[in-house]
């Protein structure tokens, strides 16, 4: 459970999944598919929440609700074939000139098709637009496929952190972005209007109640 996950400034452990079993390999998939990446919509929620349930057992419904309803500009979804192929939640940390990646996940059937690489490239574009010069994240020490992905994408391992409530030891990563691409001033995205947050909150509450009834 991530008690501090609601606050933008809190040190997030980056919901780096602890792999549950042998990594699925799907080498026979066709060459890279280009996903369209945009802000999350309520129609994406069930697929996103189910993906989180499968990958991040310690993520709470509360935390996801907070992100979906109040932090939509920070939650970017990759869509392919009308499905949620993956998503990323980011956080601007101007004090360290960093766009921090809190969570990155790709739906199982879309893995090994370059979706995570595209989401990381998208994060680099966001960082540049928002005037931030670095990407940061944490990854569980046993998450071999994610560690390989970050190494291949040029993220350096710069430290480690321990989260007893989220599976143990995490490797802290950092990537400096080319200075020429970064906007001159830090400009983080506007929050959603209040009416939309409230509407999303109502939809989310109805969904969690329905889910609680059906899983009882
Ligand atoms: C880790 C994770 C995000 C990777 O997502 P992904 O979309 O499969 O990643 P990519 O496709 O960009 O790259 C993964 C592999 O596919 C390969 N690949 C990419 N495009 C490919 C293609 N078109 N054809 C075949 N292989 C391809 C990459 O070379 C890479 O190979 P490697 O594992 O041998 O290094 C995903 O497995 C996941 O969501 N895991 C659970 C949650 C998690 O661990 N999140 C990260 C927390 S830190």
DSSP string, 105-164: EE-GGGTTSSHHHHHHHHHHHHHHHTT--EEEEEEETT-HHHHHHHHHTTPEEEEEEEEG
In-domain check, residue 9: no
Q: For residue 112, what are the domain limits? A: 36-215
- Tell me what pLDDT residue 82 has: 93
In-domain check, residue 15: no
In-domain check, residue 3: no
Percent of the chain exceeding pLDDT 90 equals 69
CA 202 – ligand 1 centroid, Å: 34
In-domain check, residue 62: yes
For the chain, how many structural domains are there in total? 1
pLDDT tens, 14-31? 555 554 443 444 344 455
Q: Give the CATH number for residue 199.
A: 3.40.630.30
Pocket test for ligand 1, best of 121, 145, 174 (most atoms within 8 A of CB): 145
Mean pLDDT to the nearest integer, 1-22: 40
pLDDT tens, 115-166? 999 999 999 999 999 999 999 999 999 999 999 999 999 999 999 999 888 7
In-domain check, residue 174: yes
Cα–Cα distance measured from residue 10 to residue 63, given in angstroms and rounded to the nearest whole number: 13
Q: Whose CA is nearest to atom 19 of ligand 1?
A: 114
| Residue with more model confidence, 51 or 26 | 51
Pocket test for ligand 1, best of 104, 112, 135 (most atoms within 8 A of CB): 112
- Indicate the pLDDT class of residue 81, thresholds 50, 70 and 90: very high
- Tell me what pLDDT residue 11 has: 37
Q: Which residues line ligand 1 (CB under 6 A)?
A: 16-17, 27, 29, 31-32, 55, 104-106, 111-117, 139, 143, 145-146, 148-149
- Tell me what pLDDT residue 31 has: 54
User: What's the pTM?
Assistant: 0.87
Percent of the chain exceeding pLDDT 70 equals 85
Residue 2 has pLDDT above 50, yes or no: no
């Amino acid at each position: 459970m991530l008690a501090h996950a609601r606050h933008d400034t809190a040190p997030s452990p980056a919901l780096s999944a602890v792999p549950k079993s042998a990594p699925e390999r799907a080498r026979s998939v066709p060459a890279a598919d280009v996903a369209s990446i945009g802000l999350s919509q309520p129609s994406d929620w069930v697929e996103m929440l189910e993906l989180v349930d499968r990958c991040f057992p310690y993520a709470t419904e509360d935390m996801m609700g907070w992100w979906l309803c109040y932090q939509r500009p920070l939650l970017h979804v990759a869509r392919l074939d009308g499905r949620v192929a993956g998503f990323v939640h980011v956080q601007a940390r101007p004090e360290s000139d960093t766009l921090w990646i809190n969570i990155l996940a790709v739906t199982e059937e879309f893995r090994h098709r370059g979706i995570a690489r595209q989401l990381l490239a998208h994060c680099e574009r966001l960082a540049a637009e928002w005037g931030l010069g670095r990407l940061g994240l944490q990854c569980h020490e046993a998450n071999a496929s994610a560690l390989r992905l970050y190494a291949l994408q040029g993220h350096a391992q710069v430290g480690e952190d321990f989260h007893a409530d989220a599976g143990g030891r995490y490797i802290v990563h950092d990537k400096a972005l080319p200075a020429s691409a970064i906007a001159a001033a830090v400009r983080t995205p506007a929050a959603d209007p209040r009416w939309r947050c409230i509407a999303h909150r109502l939809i989310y509450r109805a969904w969690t109640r329905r889910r609680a009834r059906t899983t009882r």
